Every structure is written in structure tokens, then in C-alpha cells.
Amino acid sequence: MAKLHHFHGGLQLEGHKAESVSQPLRQASLPERLILPLRQHIGDYNKPLVEIGNRVLKGEVIAATSSLICAAVHAPTSGIVSAIGNYPVPHPSGQADRCIVIDVDGEDEATRADVIDPRQLSAEEMIQRICRAGIVGLGGAAFPTSPKISRGKAQGVDTLIINGVECEPYITCDDMLMRSDAAEVIRGCGYLQQILSPQTTLIAIEDNKPEAIAAITRALGENPLANTEIITIPTIYPSGGEKQLIQILTGKEIPHGQLAFDIGLLCHNVGTCAAITRALEQDQALISRIVTCTGNNLVQPSNWEVRLGTPISHLIELAGGYQDKDDAYLVMGGPMMGFALSSDTLPIVKASNCIMVMREETIPHSPGYHDECIRCGKCTEVCPAQLLPQQLYWHARAKAYERTQEFNLFDCIECGCCSAVCPSQIPLVQYYRAAKSEIRAAHKALFKSDRARARFEFREKRLLLKKQQDEERRRLKREALKLKQVKSADAEAAPDPVQAALERVKERKAVQEENR
Amino acid sequence: MTSVVVSSPYVAPGNSLKRLMIQVIIALVPGTLAYAWFFGPGVIVNIVLAIIFALTFEAGILKLRAKPIMPHLTDFSAVVAAWLFALCLPMHAPWWLVLTGIGFAMVAGKHLYGGLGFNPFNPAMVGYVVLLISFPREMTTWYLPGSVSGETLSLAESLAYSFGSADIDQWDALSSATPLDQVKTGVGQSIPISEIRQSPLFGDYAGRGWEWIAFWWFVGGVYMLATKTIRWHIPASLLAAVMTLSLIFYLVDPEVYPSPLFHLLSGAVVIGAFFIATDPVSAATTNLGRIYYGLMIGCLIYVIRAWGGYPDGIAFAVLLANMCVPLIDYYTQPRVYGEE
């Protein structure tokens, strides 16, 4: 086995994973209504392709766009489109977004699948099928998978990394997937190899998931893949972050401003691999995902294969319901990087790896009073990006955004380690998020004002040119008029133009004579 | 249902300011007890007085600043500052000396800059230096350890001294210079060190009593390192600087320059290295910066001791290094992930 490396900092956290792995992975029942946001990925908006009243079938594309960085949305089951409009969606901003609402008819009638043996397909055809299936990275970031693969293919991939690390506490959806469907993951890994032909493939799993490691090892034994290794890595947060995992496995750092495929690496989550398998083998779109429903305010923490668009309340009911609904605090994602949800009516989306149902009193950082930074530097010790969090905090708080950029604010991966160790209990990441969005907003405003200025200047120039042209035209007209008047005056003086012409010819001849 | 939307992480904090300060206080106990063992309970009287005054000043100024009072008082940062300040004082100091010093430390050194976290200078050292400059006589009246003079002041006598009801001259026979003073004066008069060290003030390596107190400060420092209350960079580099410089000069002329062990175990080097220079607020924050910071303090201590006007130089060394912290931090930023 290859030698493992370390990344800077990180934390050993209480796992809280045992709670939700005691139950087997189950299929969630269909709710009455599905709410499907048009954008469930990083990238451009989809346009709805259906109208209110249309009947849609399971797997039918209901929203798509031709943009490159995009993933289409499919109907997770059959039903009638009952509304298209703004609904609250799971997003840190808490704002509403465009959604398609489907009233489920319970038939679960599917479109006809176009099943072909994936081994017969060319790499381009495979990428196209993955694109058609609307697959995004299921680790939580939800970046569309097909552009990532095709870019990797174009640049060449040495090492394919399959991420089964799942380092955040509470989340166990990848663990449960590997335990229950290891063969699907391995086959997906094989298809990625078929597309990318990497020299090595590394499947990384944290050592706190022995069952998953055993299952994947067994599946790889049954379906051996060339140059593929399962690597057990120590449990330390955030080793599942792409940059950190790459550093652990290869010792390489992704240079500033570049991406993994720029140094010949490509990372895919195990859940994404399974989705790729389904897309290629069964022509099945991404219409469901495994969600961990857990937390200290839930009756039965467990994992469920949930259709996208299912309201969170439906999932919580399946998991036994709340212990105390009045005291519930909902988080999507894990405790370190997740975000709070304002209501349980929000739908499960492609990025929903975990729903945490917590007791409010166990949520530590309340806004308002916190101690001041004493510059102890504990945050610096744990920062996996090797930043100086306390300096960032200092400048972010003072709204000195240029200084925050000098201290590399945008290299912050928002893992939350600094906030977790801060003795003054400062919600550091909250300050960084605020600073980042302020800077982004300022950039956007600057871009807009630049564009407005450019347009204004162009218009001014155009008006000026028009004015000049008009003046020129008027001048010409005036001159022409003047000439006409002079001519008419001449005409009065010399009434015989033939005589005049003859005289002019005579004159010219005389001049020519002289010149000779 | 989720009422307040709070940003992640949602894990219970594993650390708090209060916990950090309590660790420091625990680490101060053995050295303080050793101090009282050798020099009598006067030091405890000083510490208690300083803490009471410090909390009073802090509460008053927090009220003026319209800040929450109890959360700040119970973070124990004022207690730690007062404790360290009191340890710098002569073992028997009148109450008004304690009051003036800690008052200046809390008001000017800490809160006028914005309170905890914003003070560029170590408040305890600010208070101490103000006293050293303003009240040189009171600040340099030290006493013999009990094992030399045969008696130490009782608690009642110490209290009487502090509150001025005792006749101060009564204990004149007990007053003495510190070993560092003795060396400085002696060397100034061209007395060889081997001769100076014949005085009963000196023990095996440094001042009698002092060397053991230093040992217990060291034990407290190791406890703080073990509990990760402080990091090793500042104490290690500070002690290394003092040891290296003193070794060089000791090798040049051992009759003029005392041994490295004498420097290490005399005065406030050990407590300074582990407890004073490590005040996170006023120290450098990058690891490399902390090493420069510690080296700078160590070198300044030696320079002040060997050639400066004061027998010990921790306070001035720390304050001078405090001034350089923004510069040190700026030029010692660590390499960010992914950068060449």
C-alpha cells in the first residue's frame, strides 16, 4: 500500500455515526407531493419543460438547459404537475426559488428505458448518458458530474480517487451505500475507468467504517478492476474534503487557483459512482438519493433511499418522528458544514446527504454575545488550508475586505474546525461566509457598474459621432446650396454655357502650349 | 421548529476562555506556594489584594463601557493578570502600590485599548513598569528568604505591613537586595562573581529560594504545555536565547558574567518564559513569529541584565517585543495550502 501523507491541522471529532447505522437502508415511501427546485446543483438554472396540468412519468426530464455546467431535473415518479413557482428550498440563504410541484399519482409509472450494455459505449456516449441522467456530485457539493468527467478526460487523469471517506460526524449515507450496494459502487468505478483510463484508482475509506471496507473489498474481489486499490485512511476531520483527501493519498497540493484535474487527479464520491452505474446500466436518471436522517431529537435515526423532492417532514415521519417537535432544530448536511433549515416542509434535493434533527439547546453558537479573540492561535493549528483564521476574523469584522483577501479568505473551505476549537467561541466561519458574500456582491456590483459605464460611454460616443455626421451632412448640404446659388449667379452673368465651355477649352489648350 | 438560524458548526465547543484561564491559575499554584514557603505569606497577601482590586477596576470600567460585567469577570483573565502582576512585586508591598499598579494595568493597559483581546501590551507588565519607574524605592525593597534570615513575616505581620499599620523600619534587618541586584552591583564594583556568590543569598545555582521557585514555575509551565494551554515555541526560544547568550559570555569571562544556570534560575526568566511572554493577546500568533518573539525577549532580557540599568529585564523585554508583534506577524505568515 502506498504511503499515506498528512494534511495540516484537522480535528478528531465524536463520530455520532453508530446511531444511524443500526438500521438497514430502506426505501422511503412516496409522499403525496414532490417539490423539485429547478436548480439543485452548482451552475446555471434549468428551464421548466413541462406545464401545469401535464402528466409526467418517472424519469422524464422536467427541467433542463443547454448550458455546460448544468444538470437536468427529472420527475422522480409519475404524477401531475400542479404548480410551477417560488417555494422555500434548502439553501443557506433561506430564500425561495423556482420549483416544479408534482402531485404524485402513486402509479410510479416510468418512461421506457433505453438499455444498452455500457461496455459497448464509447467514452463520449457514456459521458452523454451521465449528463442526460442529471447526475451531480453526491458528496454534498452537487457539482454536475458530466462536465467534471469530460474536463478530466480532456486533460488526462493519472489517478482516479473514489471518495468513501465521509468524515463529517452523524452522516452515514455513504457508509450505508457501501455496505448495501458495494457492487454498484465498484461497477461505477469501473465505468469511470473505462471513460478516463487512469493509471491508478484509489478507493479511500476512513478506518471508522470497517463494514464498508469489508464490503467494498469483497465487491472488488468479485469484480476485479485493474490497478485499483482500497486505501484505509485514519479518521480525522476534514479528510473527506477533496483537497485534503488528495493530500493524504498523494502528498500533492492543488496549486493555488487550479483544480484537481490540472494535476491529473479526479475525485468522485461513492454515491456518484453508484448513480453512474444506474445511469449506464439501466438508463436511470438521478431521481433519488440516500439520505441519513439522524440527530438527538429523532426517534429512530436511520438511512433512507429517498425520491428527490420529498418533503423533509415525510422523511422525519418515516424515521419515527420528532422526540420533541417544539424544540426541534433542523440542519441539512453535517454538524460541521451543514446549514440550518427554517422548516420541515423543504424538499430533499440532490445535495441532501443528511438531515439532522437536533434539540435546540444542543446547538451551541447563539448569535449575539461571544468573547473576544485572544489570539491564542488554536484556529491556526487546526486550519487544513493553513490560513490564519484569527487575522481573517480581525479583518472580516472590521469589514477590511481587501485585507481578508490578502490573507487568502477564498482559500477557506469553511470546514468549521476553527470555530470548533475557539476558546472565545467565536462563530468564525460565519464571519468568513459573510465577508465572502459581501466581496462577491461587490464584485458583481462592480461588474454591473463597469458594464453600465461601458454602455454609457459607447452611447455617448455613438451620439457624438451621430452629431458629427449630422453636422457634416448639414455642412455639405449648405455648401451644395451655396454652390448652386453661385452657379445660378454665374449662369445669370454668362447666359451662354456653350460659349463658356468653348472658352475654357481654349484656355486649357493655351496652357498646354505654354507647358510644351 | 428551527427559530434562530445559526451558522455551522453545530458541535459543542470543547474549549472556553474560562477553562484556559483556570489552567493558567492551576499552573501558577505550585510556584506561588514555593514563593510563600521561602519568603512568607506576603506574596499571597499581594495576590489577593491585586485580584480584588483588579476585579473592582474591571467591573467599574465594564460598567462605564456599558459591557456585560459578569461574563467578563468570570472569564478570569483579570485574575490571571492580577496574579502575575502581584508576583512581580516585592513580597511586602503597601496596599496603595498594588492598587496603583493593577489599576493602571486594568484601565490603561487593558480597557483603554478595548479590553481583553485588544491590548497590544501585556497589562501586568504595564502595571509593573509604571510602578518600577514611579516608585523605585518601594519596588526594590526585597527581603531575605526565611532560611537565611531565620524568620519570615507572619500573615498578620504581612497584613500590617500592607496596610501601613506596622512600623516599616522594624523589619529593616530583613530587607536585602535580590541576588540579581547583588551580582549587578558587585560586578559594577569589579568584584569577581566567585566572591559575590559567597554571600548567604546564594544557593547551589542561583539565589537561595529563588532557584526552587523557578523550578516550580517550570513545573507549572510543563503542566500548561501538557494541557495545551500554551505552545512550546515562545518558552523554548526565550529560554534558548537566554541560555545561549549567557553561555557565550560565561565562557568569555566567568568572573564577570554569571553562568547560564544562574541566569535561568534567577529573577523572572522561567515565569516570564512560561506565563508572561505567552500571554496570547500581546504575543505573536504565527508559530515562526512566536519563535522570533521568544528569541527577541530572551536576548533583550540578557542585554538588560548584563548591560542595562535594571537587574532584571523581563517587563521591558516583553513590552518592547509586544511593540514588534504586528510586524513579526505580518512577515511570518505561514504558507497557505496550494501556494509555492
Chain A closest CA to B284's CA: distance in Å? 8
- Residue from the list A372, A423, A427 with its beta carbon closest to the beta carbon of B20: A423
- Residue from the list B280, B329, B337 with its beta carbon closest to the beta carbon of A376: B280
- Angstrom distance (rounded) from CA A515 to CA A264: 83
Q: Which three cell numbers mark B267?
A: 529573577
Partners of A159 in the beta sheet?
Answer: A200, A265
Q: B306 in contact with A at a CB cutoff of 8 Å?
A: no
Q: What is the residue type of A443? A: H
Beta strand residue intervals within A146-252, DSSP E: 159-164, 200-206, 228-233
Chain A residues 370-389 within an 8 A CB cutoff of chain B = 371-378, 380-381, 384-388
Chain A residues 91-120 within an 8 A CB cutoff of chain B = 92, 94
Each residue of A231-244: b (16+ CB within 10 Å) or e?
Answer: bbbebbbbbbbbbb
Contact B337 A333 (CB under 8 A): no
Contact A427 B6 (CB under 8 A): yes
Please name each of the domains of chain A with its CATH number. Answer: 18-304 (3.40.50.11540), 371-516 (1.10.1060)
Contact A329 B2 (CB under 8 A): yes
pLDDT value at position B46?
93
Contact B117 A372 (CB under 8 A): yes
Q: A364 in contact with B at a CB cutoff of 8 Å?
A: yes
Q: What percent of chain A has pLDDT over 90?
A: 67
Please tell me chain A's helix, strand, coil percentages from 3-state DSSP, rounded to the nearest 5: 40, 20, 40
Question: Mean pLDDT across chain B, nearest whole number?
Answer: 88
Q: How is A225-248 classified by DSSP, letter by letter?
A: -TTEEEEEE---BTTTSHHHHHHH
- CA A303 to chain CA centroid, Å, is 24
What is the residue-level pLDDT of chain A in tens, covering all 516 positions? 568 999 999 999 988 999 999 999 999 999 999 999 998 888 888 899 999 999 999 999 999 988 888 899 999 999 999 999 999 999 887 888 999 999 999 999 999 888 889 888 999 999 999 999 999 999 878 899 999 999 999 999 999 999 999 999 999 999 999 999 999 999 999 999 999 999 999 999 999 999 999 999 999 999 999 899 999 999 999 999 999 999 999 999 999 888 888 999 999 999 999 999 999 999 999 999 999 999 999 999 999 999 999 999 999 999 999 999 888 899 999 999 999 998 899 999 999 999 999 998 888 766 567 888 999 989 999 999 999 899 899 999 898 988 888 888 999 999 999 999 999 888 899 899 889 988 988 888 888 888 899 999 999 999 999 999 999 999 999 999 998 888 777 666 656 777 777 888 888 888 787 776
Q: Which helix (H) or strand (E) holds A290?
A: strand A288-294
Contact B281 A374 (CB under 8 A): yes
Contact B285 A344 (CB under 8 A): no
Chain B closest CA to A202's CA: distance in Å? 22
Alpha helices in B227-333 (DSSP H): 233-252, 260-265, 269-271, 287-307, 314-331
Closest-approach residue (CA) in chain A for B11: A335
Q: B70 in contact with A at a CB cutoff of 8 Å?
A: no
Find the range with the poorest average confidence among A325-339, A483-497, B162-176, B208-222: B162-176
Q: Give residue B10's pLDDT band: very low, low, confident or very high (50, 70, 90).
A: confident
Q: What percent of chain B has pLDDT over 70?
A: 93
- Residue from the list B3, B10, B115 with its beta carbon closest to the beta carbon of A335: B10
Longest CA–CA separation in chain A, Å:
120
Closest-approach residue (CA) in chain A for B230: A376
Chain B interface disruption, residue of A358, A374, A390, A404, most B CBs within 10 A: A374
Contact A420 B286 (CB under 8 A): no
pLDDT value at position A512?
80
Q: Which residues contact A307 (CB under 8 A, 6 or more apart)?
A: A28, A30, A31, A34, A76, A77, A287, A288, A348
Q: Does residue B167 surpass a pLDDT of 70?
A: no
Chain B interface disruption, residue of A7, A294, A371, A413, most B CBs within 10 A: A371
Contact A421 B14 (CB under 8 A): yes
- Angstrom distance (rounded) from CA B54 to CA B59: 8
Residues of A in contact with B7 (CB under 8 A): 92, 339-340, 365, 427, 429-430, 433
Q: Which three cell numbers mark A205?
A: 475509506
Contact A374 B116 (CB under 8 A): yes
Cα–Cα separations (whole angstroms), residue B23 to B27, B28, B222 = 6, 9, 12
Give tens-digit pLDDT for B289-302: 999 999 999 999 99
- Residue from the list B4, B15, B285 with its beta carbon closest to the beta carbon of A367: B4
Contact B337 A385 (CB under 8 A): yes
Q: What angle do CA A286, A288, A294 make, to 5 degrees?
A: 140
Q: What percent of chain B has pLDDT over 90?
A: 55
Residues of B in contact with A366 (CB under 8 A): 4, 6
Q: A437 in contact with B at a CB cutoff of 8 Å?
A: no
Closest-approach residue (CA) in chain A for B73: A371
Cα–Cα separations (whole angstroms), residue B247 to B193, B259, B262, B263 = 15, 7, 10, 10
Chain B residues 282-301 within an 8 A CB cutoff of chain A = 283, 285-287, 290
Q: What is the residue type of B103? A: G
pLDDT value at position A491?
64
- Residue from the list A253, A363, A377 with its beta carbon closest to the beta carbon of B280: A377
pLDDT value at position A99?
94
Count helices and strands in chain A by DSSP H and E runs: 14, 17
Residues of B in contact with A375 (CB under 8 A): 117, 280-281, 283, 285
Contact B2 A374 (CB under 8 A): no
Span between the terminal Cα atoms of chain A, in Å: 104
Find the range with the poorest average confidence among A486-490, B102-106, B234-238, B272-276: A486-490
Closest-approach residue (CA) in chain A for B77: A374
- Angstrom distance (rounded) from CA B71 to CA B62: 11
Contact A424 B117 (CB under 8 A): yes
Q: Give residue B242's pLDDT band: very low, low, confident or very high (50, 70, 90).
A: very high
Q: Does residue B3 surpass a pLDDT of 60?
A: no
Q: Does residue B270 surpass a pLDDT of 70?
A: yes
- pTM for the structure as a whole: 0.83
Identify the sign of the CA torsion A83, A88, A90, A92.
positive
The residue among A45, A23, A38, A122 whose CA lies nearest residue A87 is A38
Q: B337 in contact with A at a CB cutoff of 8 Å?
A: yes
Q: A398 in contact with B at a CB cutoff of 8 Å?
A: no
How many Cβ contacts (< 8 angstroms) between chains A and B?
Answer: 169
Chain A residues 289-318 within an 8 A CB cutoff of chain B = none
Query: ipTM above 0.90?
Result: no
Phi-psi region of A51 (alpha: psi -120 to 50; beta: other; left: phi over 0): beta
CB B2 within 8 Å of CB A330: yes
Q: Which helix (H) or strand (E) holds A55?
A: strand A55-56
